[in-house]
Structure 1
Amino acid sequence: MNIPQEYIIQRKSVRHARINVNEKQEVKLIIPNSFSNDEIERLIEQKQNWIKEKLAEFQKEEILSIHIPPANILYLGEPHPKPRNNLEKWYRKEAKNYLSKRIDFLAKKHNFKFNKLFIRDSFNKWGNCSKEKNISLNWRLIKAPVKVIDYVILHELCHTVILKHSHAFWLKLSTVCPTFNEQANWLKKYGKSLFQ
Protein backbone atom coordinates (compact mmCIF):
# COMPACT_ATOMS: atom_id res chain seq x y z
CA MET A 1 0.00 0.00 0.00
CA ASN A 2 1.03 3.64 -0.47
CA ILE A 3 1.05 6.25 2.28
CA PRO A 4 -2.24 8.21 1.96
CA GLN A 5 -1.53 11.78 0.87
CA GLU A 6 -3.82 13.24 3.54
CA TYR A 7 -1.80 11.65 6.37
CA ILE A 8 0.56 14.04 8.16
CA ILE A 9 4.02 12.56 8.67
CA GLN A 10 6.33 14.15 11.26
CA ARG A 11 9.81 12.77 11.70
CA LYS A 12 11.27 13.30 15.18
CA SER A 13 14.01 12.01 17.47
CA VAL A 14 11.73 9.47 19.17
CA ARG A 15 12.15 5.76 19.89
CA HIS A 16 8.69 4.59 18.93
CA ALA A 17 6.21 5.57 16.23
CA ARG A 18 2.91 7.09 17.32
CA ILE A 19 -0.35 7.70 15.50
CA ASN A 20 -2.74 10.46 16.52
CA VAL A 21 -6.23 10.90 15.09
CA ASN A 22 -8.02 14.15 15.94
CA GLU A 23 -11.49 15.65 15.61
CA LYS A 24 -10.54 17.38 12.35
CA GLN A 25 -10.28 13.89 10.81
CA GLU A 26 -6.52 14.35 10.58
CA VAL A 27 -4.22 11.34 10.92
CA LYS A 28 -0.80 12.36 12.22
CA LEU A 29 2.15 9.99 12.44
CA ILE A 30 5.10 10.79 14.70
CA ILE A 31 7.88 8.72 13.16
CA PRO A 32 11.48 8.02 14.29
CA ASN A 33 14.02 9.56 11.94
CA SER A 34 15.35 6.09 11.15
CA PHE A 35 12.03 4.79 9.77
CA SER A 36 11.91 3.99 6.04
CA ASN A 37 8.82 4.52 3.87
CA ASP A 38 8.28 0.74 3.82
CA GLU A 39 8.20 0.69 7.63
CA ILE A 40 5.72 3.57 7.67
CA GLU A 41 3.49 1.71 5.20
CA ARG A 42 3.62 -1.44 7.34
CA LEU A 43 2.70 0.57 10.43
CA ILE A 44 -0.29 2.14 8.67
CA GLU A 45 -1.39 -1.27 7.41
CA GLN A 46 -1.18 -2.76 10.92
CA LYS A 47 -3.13 0.15 12.44
CA GLN A 48 -5.61 0.57 9.59
CA ASN A 49 -8.62 -0.76 11.51
CA TRP A 50 -7.72 1.30 14.60
CA ILE A 51 -7.46 4.47 12.46
CA LYS A 52 -10.87 3.79 10.89
CA GLU A 53 -12.43 3.24 14.33
CA LYS A 54 -10.97 6.50 15.66
CA LEU A 55 -12.16 8.46 12.64
CA ALA A 56 -15.64 7.00 13.13
CA GLU A 57 -15.60 7.97 16.82
CA PHE A 58 -14.81 11.58 15.99
CA GLN A 59 -17.76 11.74 13.65
CA LYS A 60 -19.95 11.13 16.72
CA GLU A 61 -18.05 13.31 19.24
CA GLU A 62 -18.84 16.93 19.96
CA ILE A 63 -16.16 19.51 19.30
CA LEU A 64 -15.32 22.12 21.92
CA SER A 65 -17.87 24.85 21.23
CA ILE A 66 -15.74 27.85 22.20
CA HIS A 67 -15.42 30.36 19.37
CA ILE A 68 -11.73 31.12 19.04
CA PRO A 69 -10.89 34.04 16.71
CA PRO A 70 -8.07 33.36 14.20
CA ALA A 71 -5.66 35.60 16.13
CA ASN A 72 -6.27 33.68 19.37
CA ILE A 73 -5.52 30.32 20.94
CA LEU A 74 -7.06 28.27 23.76
CA TYR A 75 -5.52 28.95 27.20
CA LEU A 76 -7.07 27.84 30.51
CA GLY A 77 -10.30 27.18 28.63
CA GLU A 78 -10.57 30.69 27.18
CA PRO A 79 -9.46 32.53 24.00
CA HIS A 80 -6.01 34.08 24.46
CA PRO A 81 -3.83 36.22 22.15
CA LYS A 82 -1.61 34.00 20.03
CA PRO A 83 2.11 34.32 20.85
CA ARG A 84 4.46 35.40 18.06
CA ASN A 85 7.02 32.67 18.76
CA ASN A 86 6.79 28.86 18.44
CA LEU A 87 3.32 27.99 19.75
CA GLU A 88 4.10 24.56 21.21
CA LYS A 89 7.23 25.90 22.93
CA TRP A 90 5.17 28.72 24.43
CA TYR A 91 2.46 26.31 25.61
CA ARG A 92 5.05 24.02 27.22
CA LYS A 93 6.66 26.94 29.05
CA GLU A 94 3.30 28.20 30.30
CA ALA A 95 2.28 24.67 31.32
CA LYS A 96 5.46 24.15 33.34
CA ASN A 97 5.01 27.48 35.10
CA TYR A 98 1.28 27.20 35.81
CA LEU A 99 1.04 23.48 36.59
CA SER A 100 4.02 23.49 38.97
CA LYS A 101 2.50 26.34 40.98
CA ARG A 102 -0.97 24.82 40.90
CA ILE A 103 0.10 21.37 42.08
CA ASP A 104 2.09 22.91 44.93
CA PHE A 105 -0.96 24.92 45.97
CA LEU A 106 -3.39 21.97 45.81
CA ALA A 107 -0.98 19.58 47.53
CA LYS A 108 -0.52 22.01 50.41
CA LYS A 109 -4.25 22.76 50.60
CA HIS A 110 -5.24 19.07 50.84
CA ASN A 111 -2.19 17.75 52.72
CA PHE A 112 -0.69 15.66 49.92
CA LYS A 113 3.00 15.01 49.45
CA PHE A 114 4.57 14.19 46.10
CA ASN A 115 8.16 13.80 44.99
CA LYS A 116 8.76 15.38 41.56
CA LEU A 117 6.62 16.90 38.83
CA PHE A 118 7.25 16.18 35.15
CA ILE A 119 5.55 17.93 32.25
CA ARG A 120 5.13 15.31 29.53
CA ASP A 121 4.10 15.07 25.89
CA SER A 122 1.52 12.29 25.81
CA PHE A 123 -1.19 11.33 23.35
CA ASN A 124 -3.09 8.98 25.67
CA LYS A 125 -2.68 10.24 29.26
CA TRP A 126 -3.51 13.48 31.02
CA GLY A 127 -1.56 12.52 34.11
CA ASN A 128 0.30 9.76 35.88
CA CYS A 129 1.62 9.01 39.36
CA SER A 130 4.45 6.53 39.93
CA LYS A 131 5.08 4.36 42.99
CA GLU A 132 7.82 6.84 43.90
CA LYS A 133 5.15 9.58 44.02
CA ASN A 134 6.49 11.29 40.92
CA ILE A 135 3.66 13.00 39.05
CA SER A 136 3.53 13.58 35.30
CA LEU A 137 1.09 16.00 33.67
CA ASN A 138 0.34 16.49 29.98
CA TRP A 139 1.37 19.98 28.81
CA ARG A 140 -1.85 20.24 26.77
CA LEU A 141 -3.80 20.60 30.03
CA ILE A 142 -2.84 24.29 29.92
CA LYS A 143 -5.57 24.65 27.28
CA ALA A 144 -8.28 23.23 29.57
CA PRO A 145 -10.45 25.16 32.06
CA VAL A 146 -8.95 25.58 35.54
CA LYS A 147 -11.51 23.21 37.13
CA VAL A 148 -10.49 20.45 34.71
CA ILE A 149 -6.79 21.05 35.40
CA ASP A 150 -7.46 20.90 39.14
CA TYR A 151 -9.35 17.62 38.70
CA VAL A 152 -6.43 15.97 36.88
CA ILE A 153 -3.93 17.26 39.46
CA LEU A 154 -6.07 16.12 42.40
CA HIS A 155 -6.65 12.75 40.71
CA GLU A 156 -2.89 12.18 40.54
CA LEU A 157 -2.30 13.55 44.06
CA CYS A 158 -4.84 11.01 45.37
CA HIS A 159 -2.69 8.31 43.76
CA THR A 160 0.17 9.32 46.07
CA VAL A 161 -1.98 7.87 48.86
CA ILE A 162 -3.91 5.14 47.01
CA LEU A 163 -2.19 3.91 43.85
CA LYS A 164 -5.02 1.78 42.40
CA HIS A 165 -8.45 2.90 41.25
CA SER A 166 -10.16 1.21 44.19
CA HIS A 167 -13.36 2.24 45.95
CA ALA A 168 -11.22 3.97 48.57
CA PHE A 169 -9.47 5.96 45.84
CA TRP A 170 -12.72 7.30 44.35
CA LEU A 171 -13.98 8.12 47.83
CA LYS A 172 -10.78 10.04 48.55
CA LEU A 173 -11.04 11.90 45.25
CA SER A 174 -14.66 12.85 45.93
CA THR A 175 -13.67 14.48 49.21
CA VAL A 176 -11.09 16.79 47.61
CA CYS A 177 -12.85 17.20 44.23
CA PRO A 178 -16.64 16.75 44.73
CA THR A 179 -17.43 17.57 41.08
CA PHE A 180 -14.80 15.23 39.61
CA ASN A 181 -17.39 13.40 37.50
CA GLU A 182 -18.25 16.64 35.69
CA GLN A 183 -14.59 17.36 34.96
CA ALA A 184 -13.91 13.77 33.88
CA ASN A 185 -16.88 13.93 31.51
CA TRP A 186 -15.59 17.24 30.11
CA LEU A 187 -12.30 15.56 29.24
CA LYS A 188 -14.06 12.60 27.65
CA LYS A 189 -16.23 14.93 25.60
CA TYR A 190 -13.76 17.64 24.62
CA GLY A 191 -10.32 16.26 25.47
CA LYS A 192 -9.37 15.56 21.86
CA SER A 193 -10.03 19.21 21.04
CA LEU A 194 -6.98 20.10 23.16
CA PHE A 195 -4.75 18.31 20.61
CA GLN A 196 -5.53 20.90 17.90
Structure 2
Amino acid sequence: MKEQTAVAVICDKPVRYRVRRSDRARRLSLQVSPRKGLEVVLPRRWSLAELDRALRENAAWIDAQVERFDVRLGPRSPELVTGSTVLVLGRPRALKVEGAEPGRRRGRVVAENDRLRIQLTADDRMDPRPLLERWLRRLARLHLEARVGELAALHGLTPSRVIIGERTSRWGSCSHKGNLSFCYRLVMAPPAVIDAVVCHELCHLRHLNHGPGFRKLLAEICPEHDEHMSWLRDHHDDLQI
Protein backbone atom coordinates (compact mmCIF):
# COMPACT_ATOMS: atom_id res chain seq x y z
CA MET A 1 0.00 0.00 0.00
CA LYS A 2 1.38 3.40 -1.01
CA GLU A 3 -0.23 5.26 1.92
CA GLN A 4 -2.06 4.29 5.06
CA THR A 5 -3.41 6.01 8.14
CA ALA A 6 -3.02 4.68 11.67
CA VAL A 7 -3.19 5.74 15.31
CA ALA A 8 -0.29 5.45 17.77
CA VAL A 9 -0.19 6.05 21.50
CA ILE A 10 2.33 8.84 22.08
CA CYS A 11 2.98 9.94 25.67
CA ASP A 12 -0.17 8.07 26.73
CA LYS A 13 -2.32 9.96 24.20
CA PRO A 14 -3.63 8.87 20.77
CA VAL A 15 -2.06 10.48 17.71
CA ARG A 16 -3.35 9.92 14.19
CA TYR A 17 -0.61 9.72 11.56
CA ARG A 18 -0.11 8.90 7.90
CA VAL A 19 2.56 6.55 6.57
CA ARG A 20 3.89 7.02 3.06
CA ARG A 21 6.32 4.48 1.60
CA SER A 22 8.89 5.88 -0.79
CA ASP A 23 11.23 4.22 -3.27
CA ARG A 24 13.49 7.27 -3.13
CA ALA A 25 13.78 7.66 0.65
CA ARG A 26 17.00 6.37 2.23
CA ARG A 27 15.96 6.91 5.83
CA LEU A 28 12.79 7.36 7.84
CA SER A 29 11.57 10.92 8.32
CA LEU A 30 8.93 12.47 10.57
CA GLN A 31 7.13 15.68 9.65
CA VAL A 32 4.35 17.58 11.41
CA SER A 33 2.38 20.43 9.80
CA PRO A 34 -1.06 22.01 10.21
CA ARG A 35 -2.26 20.76 6.83
CA LYS A 36 -0.88 17.20 6.92
CA GLY A 37 -0.65 16.40 10.62
CA LEU A 38 1.98 13.78 11.48
CA GLU A 39 3.41 12.19 8.34
CA VAL A 40 5.98 9.40 8.34
CA VAL A 41 7.98 8.76 5.17
CA LEU A 42 9.26 5.19 5.23
CA PRO A 43 11.78 3.66 2.81
CA ARG A 44 10.10 0.96 0.74
CA ARG A 45 11.96 -1.99 2.28
CA TRP A 46 11.80 -0.87 5.91
CA SER A 47 9.57 -2.83 8.27
CA LEU A 48 6.74 -1.52 10.43
CA ALA A 49 8.78 -2.56 13.47
CA GLU A 50 11.33 0.11 12.52
CA LEU A 51 8.48 2.59 12.21
CA ASP A 52 7.24 1.72 15.71
CA ARG A 53 10.74 2.18 17.10
CA ALA A 54 11.05 5.62 15.50
CA LEU A 55 7.73 6.68 17.01
CA ARG A 56 8.86 5.56 20.46
CA GLU A 57 12.27 7.21 20.22
CA ASN A 58 10.77 10.52 19.04
CA ALA A 59 7.67 10.46 21.26
CA ALA A 60 8.47 13.65 23.18
CA TRP A 61 9.14 15.63 19.99
CA ILE A 62 6.00 14.28 18.29
CA ASP A 63 3.87 15.08 21.33
CA ALA A 64 5.13 18.67 21.41
CA GLN A 65 4.62 19.20 17.68
CA VAL A 66 1.08 17.80 17.45
CA GLU A 67 0.13 19.97 20.44
CA ARG A 68 1.74 22.99 18.84
CA PHE A 69 -0.15 22.56 15.56
CA ASP A 70 -3.33 21.11 17.14
CA VAL A 71 -3.28 18.05 14.85
CA ARG A 72 -3.41 15.22 17.37
CA LEU A 73 -6.45 13.75 15.60
CA GLY A 74 -5.19 14.51 12.11
CA PRO A 75 -4.56 17.48 9.80
CA ARG A 76 -6.82 20.49 9.72
CA SER A 77 -8.15 21.51 6.32
CA PRO A 78 -8.11 25.23 5.58
CA GLU A 79 -11.44 26.88 6.24
CA LEU A 80 -13.18 27.84 3.01
CA VAL A 81 -15.60 30.58 4.03
CA THR A 82 -16.32 34.12 2.93
CA GLY A 83 -13.28 36.24 3.74
CA SER A 84 -10.72 33.42 3.71
CA THR A 85 -8.13 33.36 0.93
CA VAL A 86 -6.55 30.86 -1.44
CA LEU A 87 -3.58 31.32 -3.74
CA VAL A 88 -4.15 31.31 -7.50
CA LEU A 89 -1.02 31.68 -9.63
CA GLY A 90 0.72 33.01 -6.54
CA ARG A 91 -1.84 35.74 -5.81
CA PRO A 92 -4.16 35.58 -2.79
CA ARG A 93 -7.82 35.51 -3.83
CA ALA A 94 -10.50 36.34 -1.29
CA LEU A 95 -13.42 33.92 -1.23
CA LYS A 96 -17.08 34.82 -1.25
CA VAL A 97 -19.26 31.78 -0.62
CA GLU A 98 -22.86 32.35 -1.65
CA GLY A 99 -25.95 30.64 -2.99
CA ALA A 100 -26.28 30.12 -6.72
CA GLU A 101 -28.79 32.10 -8.76
CA PRO A 102 -32.36 30.70 -8.68
CA GLY A 103 -32.82 28.05 -11.34
CA ARG A 104 -29.12 27.22 -11.67
CA ARG A 105 -28.72 23.46 -11.34
CA ARG A 106 -24.96 23.32 -10.82
CA GLY A 107 -22.67 25.33 -8.61
CA ARG A 108 -19.76 27.25 -10.07
CA VAL A 109 -16.73 29.40 -9.29
CA VAL A 110 -16.58 32.89 -10.78
CA ALA A 111 -13.24 34.73 -10.84
CA GLU A 112 -13.52 38.50 -10.38
CA ASN A 113 -10.23 40.41 -10.11
CA ASP A 114 -8.81 39.38 -6.72
CA ARG A 115 -11.95 37.56 -5.60
CA LEU A 116 -13.43 34.11 -6.20
CA ARG A 117 -17.20 33.79 -5.88
CA ILE A 118 -18.14 30.20 -5.05
CA GLN A 119 -21.83 29.81 -5.87
CA LEU A 120 -23.39 26.75 -4.26
CA THR A 121 -26.61 24.91 -5.08
CA ALA A 122 -28.56 22.73 -2.66
CA ASP A 123 -26.82 19.66 -4.12
CA ASP A 124 -23.45 21.03 -3.02
CA ARG A 125 -24.56 20.66 0.62
CA MET A 126 -22.87 23.96 1.46
CA ASP A 127 -19.40 22.47 0.91
CA PRO A 128 -17.34 24.72 -1.41
CA ARG A 129 -14.31 22.43 -1.54
CA PRO A 130 -15.34 20.15 -4.46
CA LEU A 131 -16.33 23.14 -6.60
CA LEU A 132 -13.06 24.94 -5.89
CA GLU A 133 -11.06 21.79 -6.62
CA ARG A 134 -12.76 21.30 -10.00
CA TRP A 135 -12.14 24.94 -10.88
CA LEU A 136 -8.46 24.68 -9.95
CA ARG A 137 -8.11 21.47 -11.97
CA ARG A 138 -9.50 23.15 -15.07
CA LEU A 139 -7.23 26.16 -14.59
CA ALA A 140 -4.24 23.87 -14.02
CA ARG A 141 -4.92 21.99 -17.24
CA LEU A 142 -5.18 25.19 -19.27
CA HIS A 143 -2.11 26.82 -17.74
CA LEU A 144 0.17 23.78 -17.59
CA GLU A 145 -0.65 22.48 -21.06
CA ALA A 146 0.12 25.93 -22.46
CA ARG A 147 3.39 26.33 -20.54
CA VAL A 148 4.58 22.81 -21.32
CA GLY A 149 3.94 23.45 -25.01
CA GLU A 150 5.71 26.81 -25.01
CA LEU A 151 8.73 25.74 -22.96
CA ALA A 152 9.10 22.43 -24.79
CA ALA A 153 9.13 24.20 -28.16
CA LEU A 154 11.58 26.82 -26.87
CA HIS A 155 14.09 24.18 -25.77
CA GLY A 156 13.56 21.57 -28.47
CA LEU A 157 11.90 18.95 -26.25
CA THR A 158 8.85 16.84 -27.10
CA PRO A 159 6.66 15.38 -24.34
CA SER A 160 4.04 12.78 -25.19
CA ARG A 161 1.18 13.83 -22.92
CA VAL A 162 0.40 16.23 -20.09
CA ILE A 163 -1.56 14.68 -17.22
CA ILE A 164 -3.15 16.71 -14.42
CA GLY A 165 -4.04 14.91 -11.20
CA GLU A 166 -3.58 14.77 -7.42
CA ARG A 167 -0.06 13.85 -6.41
CA THR A 168 0.77 13.37 -2.76
CA SER A 169 4.56 13.32 -2.79
CA ARG A 170 5.74 15.30 -5.83
CA TRP A 171 4.58 18.30 -7.79
CA GLY A 172 5.48 16.69 -11.09
CA SER A 173 6.94 13.59 -12.71
CA CYS A 174 8.07 12.27 -16.07
CA SER A 175 7.46 8.69 -17.20
CA HIS A 176 9.69 6.60 -19.45
CA LYS A 177 7.03 7.09 -22.15
CA GLY A 178 7.53 10.84 -22.04
CA ASN A 179 4.30 11.63 -20.19
CA LEU A 180 4.52 14.62 -17.86
CA SER A 181 2.25 14.53 -14.79
CA PHE A 182 1.54 17.46 -12.48
CA CYS A 183 -0.41 18.02 -9.29
CA TYR A 184 -3.34 20.34 -9.99
CA ARG A 185 -2.52 22.40 -6.89
CA LEU A 186 0.70 23.55 -8.56
CA VAL A 187 -1.45 26.19 -10.26
CA MET A 188 -1.70 27.91 -6.87
CA ALA A 189 2.04 28.76 -7.05
CA PRO A 190 3.51 31.82 -8.83
CA PRO A 191 4.02 31.41 -12.60
CA ALA A 192 7.83 31.40 -12.30
CA VAL A 193 7.66 28.55 -9.77
CA ILE A 194 5.31 26.60 -12.05
CA ASP A 195 7.73 27.10 -14.95
CA ALA A 196 10.59 25.75 -12.81
CA VAL A 197 8.67 22.53 -12.14
CA VAL A 198 7.77 22.24 -15.82
CA CYS A 199 11.43 22.75 -16.83
CA HIS A 200 12.52 20.11 -14.31
CA GLU A 201 10.21 17.53 -15.83
CA LEU A 202 11.05 18.55 -19.40
CA CYS A 203 14.73 17.89 -18.66
CA HIS A 204 13.78 14.34 -17.71
CA LEU A 205 12.72 13.78 -21.33
CA ARG A 206 16.42 13.83 -22.16
CA HIS A 207 17.83 12.54 -18.84
CA LEU A 208 15.54 10.23 -16.85
CA ASN A 209 17.70 10.68 -13.75
CA HIS A 210 19.29 13.48 -11.71
CA GLY A 211 22.84 12.96 -12.93
CA PRO A 212 25.34 15.54 -14.24
CA GLY A 213 23.71 15.73 -17.67
CA PHE A 214 20.34 16.48 -16.15
CA ARG A 215 21.72 19.11 -13.80
CA LYS A 216 23.65 20.82 -16.61
CA LEU A 217 20.59 21.02 -18.85
CA LEU A 218 18.37 22.26 -16.01
CA ALA A 219 20.87 24.99 -15.10
CA GLU A 220 20.86 26.13 -18.73
CA ILE A 221 17.10 26.38 -19.17
CA CYS A 222 16.11 27.36 -15.61
CA PRO A 223 19.02 28.99 -13.72
CA GLU A 224 16.79 29.90 -10.73
CA HIS A 225 15.36 26.40 -10.33
CA ASP A 226 16.71 25.81 -6.82
CA GLU A 227 15.36 29.14 -5.58
CA HIS A 228 11.89 28.28 -6.89
CA MET A 229 12.02 24.82 -5.31
CA SER A 230 12.84 26.47 -2.00
CA TRP A 231 9.70 28.58 -2.39
CA LEU A 232 7.65 25.41 -2.92
CA ARG A 233 9.08 23.81 0.20
CA ASP A 234 8.53 26.93 2.29
CA HIS A 235 4.94 27.40 1.08
CA HIS A 236 3.84 23.77 0.83
CA ASP A 237 1.09 24.25 3.41
CA ASP A 238 -0.25 27.31 1.56
CA LEU A 239 -0.89 25.21 -1.55
CA GLN A 240 -3.65 23.10 0.00
CA ILE A 241 -7.43 23.31 -0.08
Q: Same fold (TM over 0.5)?
A: yes
**Deviation per residue, 1:53-109 (Å, 9 max, x gap):** 9x57x97xxxxxxxxx92542101101222415111111111111111111111111
**Deviation per residue, 1:10-30 (Å, 9 max, x gap):** xxxxxxx979x773265399x
The answer to whether residue 183 in structure 2 is matched with residue 138 in structure 1 is yes
The answer to whether residue 23 in structure 2 is matched with residue 23 in structure 1 is no
Where 1:112 maps in the other structure, the secondary structure is: coil
Structure 2 stretches lacking a partner, 5+ long = 1-6, 22-30, 40-50, 70-81, 94-114, 120-130
Q: Report if aligned partners of 1:22, 1:195 keep a CA contact under 8 Å in 2.
A: no
Where 2:232 maps in the other structure, the secondary structure is: helix
What is aligned with 1:182? 227
Q: CA deviation at 1:184?
A: 1.4
Q: Between Structure 1 and Structure 2, how many residues are aligned?
A: 163
The answer to whether residue 166 in structure 2 is matched with residue 121 in structure 1 is yes
Q: Report if aligned partners of 1:77, 1:143 keep a CA contact under 8 Å in 2.
A: yes
**Please, what is the CA RMSD of the aligned residues?**
3.6
Distance 1:187 1:170, change over 3 A: same
Task: Indicate the structure with greater strand content.
Answer: 2
The answer to whether residue 134 in structure 2 is matched with residue 89 in structure 1 is yes
Where 2:156 maps in the other structure, the secondary structure is: coil
Q: Report if aligned partners of 1:7, 1:26 keep a CA contact under 8 Å in 2.
A: no
Task: Indicate the structure with greater helix content.
Answer: 1
Q: TM-score of the superposition, structure 1-length normalised?
A: 0.68
CA distance in 2, matches of 1:110, 1:47: 48
Q: CA deviation at 1:120?
A: 1.6
**Identity within the alignment, %:** 28
Q: Report if aligned partners of 2:89, 2:191 keep a CA contact under 8 Å in 1.
A: yes
Larger Rg: 2
Q: TM-score of the superposition, structure 2-length normalised?
A: 0.57
Higher RCO (CA 8 Å, separation ≥ 6 residues)? 1
2:83 equivalent among 55, 70, 88? 70
Q: Which amino acid aligns with 1:77?
A: G
The answer to whether residue 155 in structure 2 is matched with residue 110 in structure 1 is yes
The answer to whether residue 192 in structure 2 is matched with residue 147 in structure 1 is yes
Q: CA deviation at 1:181?
A: 1.3
Structure 1 residue runs of 4 or more that deviate by more than 4 Å after TM superposition: 1-8, 45-48
CA distance in 2, matches of 1:47, 1:88: 38
What is aligned with 1:162? 207
